[in-house]
Amino acid sequence: NAGVTQTPKFQVLKTGQSMTLQCAQDMNHEYMSWYRQDPGMGLRLIHYSVGAGITDQGEVPNGYNVSRSTTEDFPLRLLSAAPSQTSVYFCASTYLGGGYEKLFFGSGTQLSVL
């Protein structure tokens, strides 16, 4: 069982370039989300989706787009990379059951924007 798979693990971009971070889950979870992790700031929610075809903004959505065409995939697009987007990005899918919820995180993408 793969869980949540993120690619790539590392990426270096130049300012102004665009790219897509891929995220796939095989647990049939409806809810998926993208977070960025910066030192001293914890994890901040970028975008989330409550099911195929439904997405919404989180705390820090500017400069990012998402789409959810299938339950499995939730890619994150950087439209025009900026140095402020240098961060570690985590995709997560959420299990709901037993009166609690559990986020399953991918292993992250370390992005540097020069």
Partner 1 sequence: QQQVKQSPQSLIVQKGGISIINCAYENTAFDYFPWYQQFPGKGPALLIAIRPDVSEKKEGRFTISFNKSAKQFSLHIMDSQPGDSATYFCAVRISGSARQLTFGSGTQLTVLP
Shortest Å, Cβ 106 to partner 1: 6
- Given a contact cutoff of 8 angstroms between Cβ atoms, the answer to whether 79 and 33 are in contact is no
Q: Which CB, 17 or 31, lies closer to partner 1?
A: 31
Instruction: List the interface residues with partner 1, window 38-97 (CB under 8 A).
Output: 40-45, 48, 50, 56, 58-59, 90, 92, 94, 96
Q: What is the dihedral of CA 56, 15, 112, 9, to 10 degrees?
A: 60
Bond into 8 cis (ω within 30): yes
Tokens 């195929």: give the residue.
Answer: 52
Which of 101, 111, 112, 113 is close enough to bind partner 1 by CB under 8 A? 101
Residues of this chain that interact with partner 1 (CB under 8 A) are 4, 31, 33, 35, 40-45, 48, 50, 56, 58-59, 90, 92, 94, 96, 99-103, 105-108
